[in-house]
Amino acid sequence: MQRPSGRQPEQLRPIKITRNYTKHAEGSVLVEFGDTKVICTASVVPGVPPFLRGKDQGWLTAEYGMLPRSTGSRMGREAARGKQGGRTVEIQRLIGRSLRAAVDLNQLGENTLHIDCDVIQADGGTRTASITGAWVAIADAIAYMKKEGMTKGDPLLRAIASVSVGVYQGVPVLDLDYPEDSNADTDMNVVMANDGGIIEIQGTAEADPFTEEQFTAMFALAKLGIAELNKLQQEALTSDV
Amino acid sequence: MQRPSGRQPEQLRPIKITRNYTKHAEGSVLVEFGDTKVICTASVVPGVPPFLRGKDQGWLTAEYGMLPRSTGSRMGREAARGKQGGRTVEIQRLIGRSLRAAVDLNQLGENTLHIDCDVIQADGGTRTASITGAWVAIADAIAYMKKEGMTKGDPLLRAIASVSVGVYQGVPVLDLDYPEDSNADTDMNVVMANDGGIIEIQGTAEADPFTEEQFTAMFALAKLGIAELNKLQQEALTSDV
Amino acid sequence: MQRPSGRQPEQLRPIKITRNYTKHAEGSVLVEFGDTKVICTASVVPGVPPFLRGKDQGWLTAEYGMLPRSTGSRMGREAARGKQGGRTVEIQRLIGRSLRAAVDLNQLGENTLHIDCDVIQADGGTRTASITGAWVAIADAIAYMKKEGMTKGDPLLRAIASVSVGVYQGVPVLDLDYPEDSNADTDMNVVMANDGGIIEIQGTAEADPFTEEQFTAMFALAKLGIAELNKLQQEALTSDV
Amino acid sequence: MQRPSGRQPEQLRPIKITRNYTKHAEGSVLVEFGDTKVICTASVVPGVPPFLRGKDQGWLTAEYGMLPRSTGSRMGREAARGKQGGRTVEIQRLIGRSLRAAVDLNQLGENTLHIDCDVIQADGGTRTASITGAWVAIADAIAYMKKEGMTKGDPLLRAIASVSVGVYQGVPVLDLDYPEDSNADTDMNVVMANDGGIIEIQGTAEADPFTEEQFTAMFALAKLGIAELNKLQQEALTSDV
Amino acid sequence: MQRPSGRQPEQLRPIKITRNYTKHAEGSVLVEFGDTKVICTASVVPGVPPFLRGKDQGWLTAEYGMLPRSTGSRMGREAARGKQGGRTVEIQRLIGRSLRAAVDLNQLGENTLHIDCDVIQADGGTRTASITGAWVAIADAIAYMKKEGMTKGDPLLRAIASVSVGVYQGVPVLDLDYPEDSNADTDMNVVMANDGGIIEIQGTAEADPFTEEQFTAMFALAKLGIAELNKLQQEALTSDV
Amino acid sequence: MQRPSGRQPEQLRPIKITRNYTKHAEGSVLVEFGDTKVICTASVVPGVPPFLRGKDQGWLTAEYGMLPRSTGSRMGREAARGKQGGRTVEIQRLIGRSLRAAVDLNQLGENTLHIDCDVIQADGGTRTASITGAWVAIADAIAYMKKEGMTKGDPLLRAIASVSVGVYQGVPVLDLDYPEDSNADTDMNVVMANDGGIIEIQGTAEADPFTEEQFTAMFALAKLGIAELNKLQQEALTSDV
């Protein structure tokens, strides 16, 4: 088996995390997993949704979008069509749910962290890149909140990263790019914390069911990948910007 | 640990599968997982979506809904609000994706199996009940298609069932009802085939991450539950109706 | 003239009213007019719409829907299409308006009775079955409110039922089923109180106009039918459940 | 009992029918029932909706709207709110259904008569004025179609008019204006043909049920009113324009 | 060059401004630019949008619509399609922005002037007719507010009118009608005050760019036209109604 | 008068045009006017809208969007709200109309150039930057089409650029940034060709009307700015990428 990119089965694509990518957001990151490029911003917005008002806690919510020509052929613009597609909705719910596990909402005050992940170039793995990049944006936004005295203690509970794994031509591989993803037998997205805790696992058989053994092999690759991503996140956060 | 229902950790709720529940659909099933009741219909609709036209294959798609007062407090009616909520979209995508793994689309002719899962009473596990019941409706609808000479060979590839597992007060349990679901530390939905193949795994940490050991224990329970559900599906299909 | 069902012109279909059909709603009824089956729930929701706030009165509103495969061929799901069709809107306005005549809104407190009528199997007369069944659900919901001390006096003013009448092959007939309804010359829905008061009359010539004599004959049938339905409603309410 | 307008119970408001009110439509009428003013246009549009294609017949459909400030206080513009309200939907369905009874769709060729009724000033009875005025617009549009050789025989089957009747302060009255309508005990809209045939009856008890005697008295008034409206329609059609 | 209407290049169409055209609005004008006819109403609505609350100032906003058969062939009704088209949105923003320049919002109290411009017959220049007619409706509405003591000083800052100019067959012309507009090389809409101040200029090359000389010639015509329109507005306001 | 940025009145912000910014689109440009950054893609899509089918010509259309946190405070995502705002619609119509003047649609074959302008960071002048950058993307896309033999002759008629001018504290200035734009007395957007032809002028008085003299001074600045932008566009196109 030869991966289209020539990578080893357990090899991530080149990962790049650029902080302060745009100037307005409290946290703003361009994350690149190879040719997949996503702008992740974390906005600090005073107030919480109605169901949380008066409970002295904060909220985190996420939205996801793709520029119409981030993909090989142009997709219709969701704003023009008047609704978000099902795939968009599913992905942004995953992003929000995962990232809430990184934050202690009770320490945020009555503020909302509004995460936006906008794909400017897609080549597979946009949801895992989004989660990985958005976590860095959140770290920056929370640092801003702490500096401004908006939080109680430290709302950042743990580091979170995400990667995809799959079975490509019978072989478990890490971090699928688009040519792999569109031909994979099985595709699994894993979100984990830096201490090895599992936040979310979503595994899908594209056609034939997969076996428990395949699951185990894929999961082992995911752990490797996430450890590496955690390291790159920390490096990004400790670098000067 | 005492489950609110008094069940053993590895015990399913009473399961009931009623075929031919309504008279118009080619497959029509009322599935009950305890107090969770879902009407699952499989409609045979000639034609396929535009992206499949002329490819000599069929399609399967699913929609999901809840009656406004299927729940403890009344939810707004999605048709009146003018859009399906994010949770609905996420669930119906899971249902459709899972059930497509049960059907050989190349044997269906240019027909669409349109699955509708409508919850008339909710008590946790509506998506797993939907998948389990809808599979029986599909089996009936495909039997109808075969009798009518609409298929090529046998489009039914395998039996599919689904169950939830979770960690409740630190103990892995099978088939969560609402009181458990709303207090679970972790919640995982598993879809499997009757030969042990995995179709879909979706595991979510509600607050704290879960461990690989917990995953393994939950998955073992899921396998038990699905084997039992597969047996009940077969019994339903071989009973007179 | 022979009715497709073999019924006499003045004969209702078999009517069945099942209370406490689902467990969450304050009133929950499955009503069956022959093969037409509708789940009617009455939900007690604190608060009133903005235009009534502070007026010390309650409100009653109704919504109507059909499961996509309640009918002979599958209809598109209104929630997925993003709007309720014109027929749905027209019917739910009729249901709400009719049932408000059964309730003294000044005795309800600042609460809303939210009626949901969801057709799970359609065979003609879904709107008349909805009104007839929903009235029983309202009676149960109001009994609940009285027990909970939420009302002032007795908000239930009168019993309300509804039936269709039509001219089928030149003969006035009661309670049209779908084969009759789709071939009727004239179709009329009547809502009346148990004291003979008229709540709503909607008569429509499907192609040719109808005469005053035909109107009179149809109306006489409607009175018979509604008297019978009122009796069945009372029997349902006094039976143990 | 004194009617707010000083009219006799059986007296219509001053009725005015102006043909060729705007220049583009094949039929264009301004109809005035007192201060209620509606522009009714009948547009001849080649083609029919999908469900009628290839059946060698035509179609008639109607839409209704109110200018935002046609009423005492400004209503939100439906186009800006993104949906038609329930009342609008109910009224335009009544208008279309009623007017289809005036036209032999089999004589229209594969053309659609598209009726638009737009209220520029409202003072009660907008739906009855719409039907009455739109019928004249249809007569003009069909005359145009005949001249152009677009029809087979004569598609105009009969004259149709509509009027409201009600019980105001206990007395049956004809053609309610807004001050009466908003205080009426009962309100009934009647659509009839010039030969006395009934097209549509919609009677609604606003609060208390009404009796069969009241119905009979109201219906007698409606017949008088419609006969008068039919005469005015004919006068309009035979006048020079 | 011969204009289709036979007008001189610098000649307006016959202009007619009818005040008090409908009875409910505080200002109600029918404005006619030749065969273009627009009903312009100015409604005084207590309150302001959220972004202005508590700032002790008023607001002015405008909406625009066309009756479906105001045009040569029937357009779809925007309320039925569920959204306003791009052209509608662009025009109503222009109308609102222009008219706000006529009013001192600080003198209005916390009230909103809601302008509705509804085209009942279109023959080119509907947006310029709308602005010109709506200004007269505003003058009437503000007179009403002053009489009712709702304003502080005099909120009416200046008279505003609008006209189109274009290059038709190489010649600059004033006030294009539809036959000219649909064949013009260039089309420019100008909004000016009665003291010669410019409120808005929107010039568009339909195919080939236009020159600065053409701009200058068109603008000179616009000044002439607007001076004439201002005179007609004043005459309308000083006439008895 | 001191401009907030310290620029001279006739001085553009630093302009940067980066071609091939993303990899999928036939033309892909990041355009920067100071801190305003817009991704402009030109996609070649086979086929034309229905109103042009069979006419042997192409089409060009544009859509515009802003990332939710491209601005100082987060804006709601239009895809999530279910509609594009009025400002968005107005801008994308301007962009499309302007760019169509650069292209001979008769030379495009039955293909559509679909332009997407997505603002990733906003600091004033996003519409003028969009037009200027999108023109370069179009030039690249047309070069691609020519190489692929999709065009007849050369569809690129002329170079187009756009800039804003305004009156800031009484002084006409070129290329307003956000601090100027939000305080300007007058704001004008000009689109011109490289031969001095005018494509579009949109001038708006923000509060007080502006004079003809101010218009003339602003227009003179716009000509200067556009000449400079045209030069930068040509440099970008002739540089290696």
In DSSP notation, B127-194 reads HHHHHHHHHHHHHHHHHHHHHTT--SS--B---EEEEEEEEETTEEEES--HHHHTT-SEEEEEEEET
> Can you tell me the distance from the alpha carbon of B235 to that of A26, in angstroms, rounded to the nearest whole number?
59
For residues A129-133, average pLDDT: 98
Span B46-84, pLDDT tens digits: 999 999 999 999 999 999 999 999 999 999 999 999 999
A176 phi and psi, to 5 degrees? -70, 135
> Can you tell me the distance from the alpha carbon of E181 to that of F94, in angstroms, rounded to the nearest whole number?
18
Contact yes or no for B129/B147 (Cβ under 8 A): no
* Residue found under tokens 């089923």: C177
pLDDT at E241 (0 to 100): 67
> Can you tell me the distance from the alpha carbon of C108 to that of C114, in angstroms, rounded to the nearest whole number?
13
Judging contacts by C-beta atoms under 8 Å, the chain F residues touching residue E219 are 212
- Work out the burial of residue A80: count CB atoms within 10 Å of its CB; fewer than 13 is exposed, 13-18 middle, 19 or more buried: middle
pLDDT > 70? residue D221: yes
pLDDT > 90? residue B168: yes
State how far the alpha carbon of A195 is from the alpha carbons of A234, D68, E37, in Å: 14, 61, 72
Span A52-71, pLDDT tens digits: 999 999 999 999 999 999 99
Rounded to a whole number of angstroms, the distance from the CA of B210 to the nearest CA of chain A is 5
Judging contacts by C-beta atoms under 8 Å, the chain D residues touching residue E122 are 24
The answer to whether D201 contacts C202, with C-beta atoms less than 8 Å apart, is: yes
* Residue found under tokens 């080149």: A14
F215 reaches E (C-beta below 8 A)? yes
Span B3-24, pLDDT tens digits: 999 999 999 999 999 999 999 9
Rounded to a whole number of angstroms, the distance from the CA of A140 to the nearest CA of chain F is 15
Nearest CA to A28 out of A15, A16, A36, A18 is that of A18
Rounded to a whole number of angstroms, the distance from the CA of D68 to the nearest CA of chain E is 7
pLDDT in tens, chain C (241 residues): 899 999 999 999 999 999 999 999 999 999 999 999 999 999 999 999 999 999 999 999 999 999 999 999 999 999 999 999 999 999 999 999 999 999 999 999 999 999 999 999 999 999 999 999 999 999 999 999 999 999 989 999 999 999 999 999 999 999 999 999 999 889 999 999 999 999 999 999 977 899 999 999 999 999 999 999 999 999 999 987 6
Query: Which residues of F are annotated binding-site positions?
Result: 87, 125-127
> Can you tell me the distance from the alpha carbon of F98 to that of F104, in angstroms, rounded to the nearest whole number?
13
Contact yes or no for B29/B132 (Cβ under 8 A): no
Q: Name the closest residue on chain D to residue E45, using Cα atoms.
A: D74
E25 reaches D (C-beta below 8 A)? yes
For residues D14-32, average pLDDT: 98
Identify the DSSP state of A60: E
* Residue found under tokens 């600065």: E212
- The dihedral through the CA atoms of F130, F131, F136, F138 has a sign that is positive
Burial C114-127 (b: 16+ CB within 10 A, else e): bbbbbbbbbbbbbb
Judging contacts by C-beta atoms under 8 Å, the chain C residues touching residue D199 are 204-205, 209
Of E93, E204, E209, the CB nearest to F86: E93
For residues D209-233, average pLDDT: 97
Q: What percent of chain E has pLDDT over 90?
A: 95
State the pTM of this model. 0.95
CA angle D46, D52, D55 (to 5 degrees): 95
E82 reaches F (C-beta below 8 A)? no
The answer to whether B22 contacts C118, with C-beta atoms less than 8 Å apart, is: no
Nearest CA to D95 out of D152, D41, D173 is that of D41
State how far the alpha carbon of C131 is from the alpha carbons of C29, C117, C134, C180, C201, in Å: 11, 8, 5, 20, 13
> Can you tell me the distance from the alpha carbon of D27 to that of D138, in angstroms, rounded to the nearest whole number?
6
* B32 CB-near residues (< 8 Å, 6+ apart): B14, B15, B16, B17, B18, B38, B129
Q: Which chains touch C (3 or more CB pairs under 8 A)?
A: B, D
Beta strands in chain E (DSSP E): 15-19, 27-33, 36-46, 59-66, 111-121, 160-168, 171-174, 186-193, 198-205
For residues D175-200, average pLDDT: 95
E200 reaches F (C-beta below 8 A)? yes
Contact yes or no for D139/D19 (Cβ under 8 A): no
Interface test with A, best of B212, B218, B219, B226 (most A CBs within 10 A): B212
Task: Provide ipTM, 2 decimals.
Answer: 0.96
* F43 CB-near residues (< 8 Å, 6+ apart): A68, A69, A74, F25, F26, F113, F114, F115, F116, F141
The answer to whether D198 contacts C203, with C-beta atoms less than 8 Å apart, is: yes
D101 reaches C (C-beta below 8 A)? yes
pLDDT > 70? residue E169: yes
C49 reaches D (C-beta below 8 A)? no
Judging contacts by C-beta atoms under 8 Å, the chain B residues touching residue C137 are none
In terms of C-beta distances under 8 Å and separation of at least 24 residues, what long-range contacts does E215-221 make, across chains too? Answer: E215/E188, E215/F198, E215/F201, E217/E172, E218/E165, E218/E166, E218/E167, E218/E172, E218/E186, E218/E188, E219/E165, E219/E188, E219/E190, E219/F212, E221/E9, E221/E10, E221/E165, E221/E172, E221/E173, E221/E174
Judging contacts by C-beta atoms under 8 Å, the chain A residues touching residue F70 are 22, 24
Q: Name the closest residue on chain A to residue B207, using Cα atoms.
A: A101
Span A16-47, pLDDT tens digits: 999 999 999 999 999 999 999 999 999 999 99
> Can you tell me the distance from the alpha carbon of E189 to that of E124, in angstroms, rounded to the nearest whole number?
12
The answer to whether B86 contacts A93, with C-beta atoms less than 8 Å apart, is: yes
State how far the alpha carbon of A225 is from the alpha carbons of A161, A204, A230, A234, in Å: 9, 19, 9, 14
Span D38-52, pLDDT tens digits: 999 999 999 999 999
Please count the CA atoms within 13 angstroms of the CA of A72 that sit on its side-chain side: 5
CA D181 to chain centre: 17
Token duo for residue A72: 């090989």
Span E46-103, pLDDT tens digits: 999 999 999 999 999 999 999 999 999 999 999 999 999 999 999 999 999 999 999 9
**Angle (deg, nearest 10), helices E86-100 and F86-100:** 110
Of E35, E69, E88, the CB nearest to D43: E69
A53 labelled as ligand-binding?
Answer: no
> Can you tell me the distance from the alpha carbon of F85 to that of F94, in angstroms, rounded to the nearest whole number?
15
* E153 CB-near residues (< 8 Å, 6+ apart): E104, E107
- The dihedral through the CA atoms of E77, E82, E86, E89 has a sign that is positive
Helix (H, G, I), strand (E, B) or coil at C23: coil
E165 reaches F (C-beta below 8 A)? no
C79 reaches D (C-beta below 8 A)? no
Nearest CA to C155 out of C208, C93, C205, C102 is that of C102
Rounded to a whole number of angstroms, the distance from the CA of C57 to the nearest CA of chain B is 21
Contact yes or no for A14/A34 (Cβ under 8 A): yes
Q: At E240, is the pLDDT very low, low, confident or very high (cuts 50, 70, 90)?
A: confident
Q: At F240, is the pLDDT very low, low, confident or very high (cuts 50, 70, 90)?
A: confident
User: How large is the C-alpha radius of gyration of chain F?
Assistant: 18
Q: What percent of chain D has pLDDT over 90?
A: 95
A124 labelled as ligand-binding?
Answer: no
Interface test with D, best of E69, E81, E115, E177 (most D CBs within 10 A): E69
Question: Could you tell me the maximum CA-CA distance found in chain A, to the nearest angstrom?
Answer: 57
pLDDT > 90? residue A198: yes
D43 reaches E (C-beta below 8 A)? yes
For residues F214-229, average pLDDT: 97
Rounded to a whole number of angstroms, the distance from the CA of A207 to the nearest CA of chain F is 28
Q: At A241, is the pLDDT very low, low, confident or very high (cuts 50, 70, 90)?
A: low
Span A148-171, pLDDT tens digits: 999 989 999 999 999 999 999 999
Helix (H, G, I), strand (E, B) or coil at B10: coil
Helix (H, G, I), strand (E, B) or coil at E54: coil
pLDDT > 90? residue B240: no
Q: What percent of chain F has pLDDT over 70?
A: 100
Token duo for residue F21: 């910014």
Strands D111-121 and D59-66: parallel
pLDDT at B29 (0 to 100): 98
The answer to whether F198 contacts E203, with C-beta atoms less than 8 Å apart, is: yes
pLDDT at B241 (0 to 100): 67
> Can you tell me the distance from the alpha carbon of B213 to that of D3, in angstroms, rounded to the nearest whole number?
83
pLDDT at A185 (0 to 100): 87
> Can you tell me the distance from the alpha carbon of E132 to that of B89, in angstroms, rounded to the nearest whole number?
49
C43 reaches B (C-beta below 8 A)? yes
The answer to whether D209 contacts C197, with C-beta atoms less than 8 Å apart, is: yes
The answer to whether A83 contacts B86, with C-beta atoms less than 8 Å apart, is: no
Span E181-219, pLDDT tens digits: 999 889 999 999 999 999 999 999 977 899 999 999 999
Query: Which residues of F are annotated binding-site positions for phosphate?
Result: 87, 125-127
What pairs with residue A195 in β-bridges? none
Contact yes or no for B192/B159 (Cβ under 8 A): no
The answer to whether D205 contacts C198, with C-beta atoms less than 8 Å apart, is: yes
